[in-house]
Amino acid sequence: MPVNEQITDSVTQVNTKVVGETPAMAMGNLLMSTSQALANAAHNATYNQQQSSVTMQAATVQGVNSLMSTGSAVIGRSAESIIEKG
């Protein structure tokens, strides 16, 4: 039983269209995956920087607290030695 030529032409055109679009679709998927990974990397870098800032601030507070808890005589001696050397 013969098949109508219009049907075979239509199927051939659709197949050609799909084969032609495949590289563009693959490239689009690759670019989307890459941009997602880069965005995650940027977010992670920002988060890590914020956490480092909090840690450094806590260390500074601890240092100031230890200086403030030291007796005034020790602070006076420390300041005196700094002034004499400077």
Residue 17 belongs to a domain: no
Q: Which of 44-48, 58-62, 74-78 has the lowest mean pLDDT?
A: 74-78
Residue 55 belongs to a domain: yes
Residue 65 belongs to a domain: yes
Residue 84 belongs to a domain: yes
Name the domain count of the chain.
1
Residue 10 belongs to a domain: no
Q: Which residues constitute the domain of residue 58?
A: 48-86
pTM: 0.53
CA 73 – CA 63 distance, rounded (Å): 18
Residue 28 belongs to a domain: no
Is residue 27 within 8 A of residue 35, CB to CB? The reply is no
More confidently predicted of 9 and 37: 37
The upper half-sphere exposure of residue 60, i.e. CA atoms within 13 Å in the direction of its Cβ, equals 6
Model confidence at 25: pLDDT above 70: yes
Residue 61 belongs to a domain: yes
Model confidence at 18: pLDDT above 70: yes
CA 40 – CA 6 distance, rounded (Å): 50
Dihedral of alpha carbons 45, 46, 49, 50, sign = negative
